[in-house]
């Protein structure tokens, strides 16, 4: 055991020197991802549902609302995230009172992922067989019953799939949070590992991010299997 | 029960307007099993969707059980739809719910208590013969079983009307028959009015009491099943009936058959069709005993439509022209329709077609 620790110390001396910082960065990444995922998830599913039902042949066809939302999403997706963070600074200050720090980073993260996730949700819900929706209409279901009883229930496996993809995307975005002092593993890899020529820190940060991504994929796969009949 | 008046449905695209249904008026009585037959693209699915307003007509009025559906607001339309069940070609079951869950969904907003709903689901599954499939997911069912779930679901709110949109088209012939039997049963037991859309005259023949034939969005012929089958006026109707009674296939086979090729001078090929009692007369025997005309039966078929037997025979009659004339007169006096057939040679295949009526012996 001692020999193993000694060996780790020799191959990764810088990591060994700051174990607390590494734990903290990992936690920051998870924290930013989770909070942003929950908020963006709620809004994204709402937007995705609105897109599907207001689209042509949707259950509440509203072309103008659809076009507005569609434009908003396309615009949102065209702004690069690192610029979005700077752009949103006043808004962030309005929401959380500061523009610096991990919590402050959650605002641009949430807003950055919403357009992507909304589109993904729309695509997932479009996979629901229109025949099933028609059957529900023929049974006299109300729009709300169709949204919750048909779209969200029948589309659940696809929703889980696109959610996992979006969370992985979100983890990617959190690595840029260092720009606004958000910390996280991406910041650790650049600020410590790259700028100070401490390659072992970059490698360990990468491995930890990969681990988080793999766990996300694994949970996604289990949930898809559980929800597919 | 169901009254469609001057229904038009058109879909507008940028370039042109597609007329799916043109000025269709139909009246369907309570307890009818009403068939609407036509080739794909004839507009029959669009037409049936106007009955529960899944498709709003561009013009015309829809009355179901005396209610003007087009005059209802969204909420009242939803409750009206609960009294109009519908089943589909591809079943459209919810994959994320069990068989019982699918039926239960239809009862969501009903006023029954949750105990009563459970009981109702069990009763419905019993009714369609799926008592043992309660907790199974649709993906584990066969096509026929899926359609039975569809039927149970459609019946959940005790509808007065059941719309069937190509409900048996995805099923094999045996399963089709069992589903049709179930529908007939429901019609008898519950007094359910059934509207059936299909491209197969076989289906119509099996259970319908009335039929409408559609082409290019219009109803070209309509009437009760026996008169349509015995005396079709429209060419398309005749085509459907010939397919359903297999006369078409018989004619194709005969065209290839040598017995038709070497007819003697005194031989003639005729199609005899008869309805009702004349089926009971020993016609063929009488032809010989009375007129010494011999009859060689090439093809025979008897259908029972709503307890009325309808027969079709293709025979070779042999005898002198005098005898033949007398025989044909006799047959016609017995309400048998006689139609002389001839063989024609097309470019590389031969075909048997009816002669013009004037040419009949």
For chain B, list the domains and their CATH numbers. 2-244 (3.40.50.300), 247-359 (3.30.70.260)
The alpha carbon dihedral of B29, B31, B37, B40 has a sign of positive
Q: Is the confidence at residue B306, as pLDDT, over 80?
A: no
Chain A interface, mutation test: which of B51, B52, B104, B105, most A Cβ atoms within 10 Å?
A: B105
Q: Which residues of chain B from 253 to 292 reach within 8 Å of chain A, CB to CB?
A: none
Question: Which residue's entry shows tokens 């006299």?
Answer: A140
Mean pLDDT of B45-66: 94
Asked if B270 contacts B340 with a C-beta cutoff of 8 angstroms, the reply is: yes
Could you tell me the strand order of the sheet in which B350-354 lies?
B294-305, B308-318, B267-275, B336-345, B350-354
Instruction: Give DSSP secondary structure letters for B183-213.
Output: HHHHHHHH--EEEEEES-HHHHHHH-SEEEE
Q: Is the confidence at residue B217, as pLDDT, over 80?
A: yes
Strands B336-345 and B267-275, by their bridges, are antiparallel
ipTM of the complex: 0.84
End-to-end CA distance of chain B: 48
Low-confidence ranges of chain A (pLDDT < 70): none
Q: Do A134 and B54 touch (CB under 8 A)?
A: yes
Which positions in chain A touch B90 (Cβ < 8 Å)? 129, 131
| B133 in contact with A, Cβ within 8 Å | no
Query: What does the alpha-carbon distance between residue A43 and residue A117 come to, in Å, rounded to a whole number?
Result: 9
A19-227 classified as CATH 3.90.550.10:
no
| B78 in contact with A, Cβ within 8 Å | yes
Band the pLDDT of B278: cuts 50, 70, 90: low
Which secondary-structure segment (H or E) carries B309? strand B308-318
The answer to whether the predicted template modeling score (pTM) of the entire model surpasses 0.80 is yes
| Among B81, B90, B138, beta carbon nearest to A139 | B81
Query: What does the alpha-carbon distance between residue A135 and residue A196 come to, in Å, rounded to a whole number?
Result: 63
Distance from the Cα of A145 to chain B's closest Cα (Å) equals 9
Which positions in chain B touch A149 (Cβ < 8 Å)? 105, 108
pLDDT score of B300: 85
Q: Is the confidence at residue B26, as pLDDT, over 60?
A: yes
Query: What does the alpha-carbon distance between residue B187 and residue B194 come to, in Å, rounded to a whole number?
Result: 7
Query: What does the alpha-carbon distance between residue B89 and residue B212 come to, in Å, rounded to a whole number?
Result: 19
Residue B87 has, within 13 A of its CA and on its CB side, a CA count of 34
Q: For chain A, list residues whose CB is within 8 angstroms of any CB belonging to chain B.
A: 129, 131-132, 134-142, 145, 149-150, 153-154, 156, 227, 229
| B157 in contact with A, Cβ within 8 Å | yes
- Chain segment B137-181, per-residue pLDDT in tens: 999 999 999 999 999 999 999 999 999 999 999 999 999 999 999
Chain B interface, mutation test: which of A139, A147, A151, most B Cβ atoms within 10 Å?
A: A139
pLDDT score of B213: 94
Asked if B57 contacts B51 with a C-beta cutoff of 8 angstroms, the reply is: no
Tokens of B316: 């070779």
Q: Is the confidence at residue B359, as pLDDT, over 70?
A: no
Which residues are within 8 A (CB) of B334 and not within 5 positions of it... i.e. 6 or more apart?
Answer: B274, B278, B281, B283
pLDDT score of B311: 84
Which positions in chain A touch B88 (Cβ < 8 Å)? 131, 134-135
- Chain segment B88-131, per-residue pLDDT in tens: 999 999 999 999 999 999 998 888 899 999 999 999 999 999 99
Tokens of A68: 């507005």
Band the pLDDT of B361: cuts 50, 70, 90: very low
Which residues are within 8 A (CB) of B225 and not within 5 positions of it... i.e. 6 or more apart?
Answer: B35, B204, B205, B208, B209, B210, B211, B305, B306
| Among A137, A142, A145, beta carbon nearest to B54 | A137
Query: Which chain B residue is nearest to residue A140, measuring alpha carbons?
Result: B78
Q: Which of B157, B156, B162, B153 is nearest to B34 (CA)?
A: B162
Asked if A29 contacts A211 with a C-beta cutoff of 8 angstroms, the reply is: no
Mean pLDDT of B338-359: 59
Query: Which chain A residue is nearest to residue B87, measuring alpha carbons?
Result: A135
User: In b/e form, how buried is each residue of A178-198, taking b as 16+ CB within 10 angstroms?
Assistant: bebebbbbbbbbbebbeeeeb
Band the pLDDT of B280: cuts 50, 70, 90: low
Query: How confident is the prediction for chain B on average, in pLDDT?
Result: 87
Which positions in chain A touch B157 (Cβ < 8 Å)? 139-140
Question: Which residue's entry shows tokens 């491995």?
Answer: A207
Tokens of B13: 């695209």
Q: Do A229 and B81 touch (CB under 8 A)?
A: no
The alpha carbon dihedral of B84, B90, B95, B99 has a sign of positive
Query: What does the alpha-carbon distance between residue A40 and residue A199 come to, in Å, rounded to a whole number?
Result: 34
In this predicted structure, which of A102-116, A197-211, B195-209, B262-276 has the lowest mean pLDDT?
B262-276
Mean pLDDT of B225-229: 86
Tokens of B220: 């070209």
Chain A interface, mutation test: which of B48, B74, B94, B159, most A Cβ atoms within 10 Å?
A: B94
Band the pLDDT of B261: cuts 50, 70, 90: low
Asked if B130 contacts B93 with a C-beta cutoff of 8 angstroms, the reply is: no
Query: What does the alpha-carbon distance between residue B355 and residue B343 come to, in Å, rounded to a whole number?
Result: 9
Question: Which residue's entry shows tokens 């008026």?
Answer: B25
pLDDT score of B360: 43
Asked if B213 contacts B243 with a C-beta cutoff of 8 angstroms, the reply is: no
Q: Is the confidence at residue B298, as pLDDT, over 50?
A: yes
Query: What does the alpha-carbon distance between residue B200 and residue B183 come to, in Å, rounded to a whole number?
Result: 16
Query: Which chain B residue is nearest to residue A149, measuring alpha carbons?
Result: B105
Question: Which residue's entry shows tokens 């840029």?
Answer: A176
Query: Which chain B residue is nearest to residue A148, measuring alpha carbons?
Result: B105
Q: Cα–Cα distances in Å, from B192 out to A65, B31, B81, B148, B163?
A: 42, 6, 15, 16, 10
| B88 in contact with A, Cβ within 8 Å | yes
If you count them, how many residues does chain B have? 361
User: In b/e form, how buried is each residue of B7-38, taking b as 16+ CB within 10 angstroms?
Assistant: bbbbeeeeeeeebbbbebebebeeebbbbbbb
Band the pLDDT of B240: cuts 50, 70, 90: confident
> What is the residue extent of each domain of chain A?
19-227
| B111 in contact with A, Cβ within 8 Å | no
């Amino acid at each position: 055991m001692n020999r193993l620790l000694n060996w780790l110390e020799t191959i990764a001396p810088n990591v060994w020197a700051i174990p607390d910082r590494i734990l903290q960065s990992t936690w920051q990444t998870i924290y930013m991802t989770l909070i942003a995922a929950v908020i963006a998830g709620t809004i994204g599913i709402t937007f995705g549902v609105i897109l599907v039902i207001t689209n042509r042949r949707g259950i509440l066809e509203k072309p103008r609302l659809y076009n507005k939302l569609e434009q908003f999403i396309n615009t949102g997706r065209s702004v690069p995230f690192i610029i979005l963070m700077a752009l949103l600074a006043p808004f962030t200050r309005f929401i959380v009172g500061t523009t610096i720090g991990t919590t402050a980073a959650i605002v641009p993260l949430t807003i950055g992922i919403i357009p992507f996730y909304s589109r993904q949700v729309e695509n997932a819900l479009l996979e629901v067989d229109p025949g099933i929706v028609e059957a529900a209409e023929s049974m006299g279901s109300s729009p709300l019953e169709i949204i919750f009883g048909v779209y969200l229930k029948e589309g659940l496996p696809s929703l889980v799939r696109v959610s996992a993809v979006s969370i992985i995307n979100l983890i990617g975005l959190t690595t840029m949070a260092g720009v606004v002092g958000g910390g996280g593993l991406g910041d650790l890899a650049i600020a410590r590992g790259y700028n100070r020529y401490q390659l072992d820190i970059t490698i360990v940060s990468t491995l930890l991010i990969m681990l988080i991504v793999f766990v996300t994929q694994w949970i996604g796969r289990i949930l898809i299997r559980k929800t597919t009949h | 029960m169901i009254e469609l008046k001057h229904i038009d449905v058109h879909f507008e695209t940028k370039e042109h307007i597609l007329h799916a249904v043109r000025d269709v008026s139909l009246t369907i009585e309570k307890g009818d099993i009403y068939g609407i037959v036509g080739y794909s693209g004839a507009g029959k699915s669009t037409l049936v969707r106007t009955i529960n307003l899944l498709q709003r007509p561009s013009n015309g009025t829809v009355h179901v059980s005396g209610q003007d559906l087009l005059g209802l607001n969204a909420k009242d339309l939803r409750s009206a739809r609960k009294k109009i069940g519908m089943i589909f070609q591809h079943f459209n079951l919810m994959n994320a719910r069990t068989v019982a869950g699918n039926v239960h969904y239809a009862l969501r907003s009903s006023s029954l208590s949750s105990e009563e709903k459970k009981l109702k689901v069990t009763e419905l599954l019993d009714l369609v013969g799926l008592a043992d499939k309660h907790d199974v997911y649709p993906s584990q069912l066969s096509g026929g079983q899926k359609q039975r779930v569809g039927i149970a679901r459609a019946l959940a709110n005790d509808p007065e009307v059941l719309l069937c949109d190509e409900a048996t088209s995805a099923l094999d012939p045996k399963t089709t028959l069992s589903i049709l039997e179930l529908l007939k049963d429901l019609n008898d037991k519950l007094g359910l009015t059934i509207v059936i859309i299909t491209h197969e005259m076989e289906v119509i023949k099996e259970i319908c009491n009335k039929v409408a034939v559609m082409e290019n969005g219009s109803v070209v012929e309509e009437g009760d099943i026996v008169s349509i089958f015995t005396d079709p006026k429209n060419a398309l109707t005749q085509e459907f009936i010939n397919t359903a009674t297999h006369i078409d296939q018989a004619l194709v086979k005969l065209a290839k058959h040598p017995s038709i090729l070497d007819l003697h001078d005194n031989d003639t090929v005729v199609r005899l069709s008869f309805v009702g009692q004349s089926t009971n007369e020993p016609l063929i025997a009488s032809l010989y005993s009375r007129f010494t005309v011999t009859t060689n039966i090439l093809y025979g078929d008897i259908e029972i439509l709503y307890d009325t037997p309808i027969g079709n025979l293709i025979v070779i009659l042999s005898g002198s022209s005098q005898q033949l004339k007398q025989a044909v007169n006799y047959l016609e006096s017995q309400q048998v329709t006689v139609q002389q057939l001839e063989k024609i040679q097309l470019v590389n295949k031969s075909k048997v077609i009816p002669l013009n009526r004037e040419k009949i012996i």
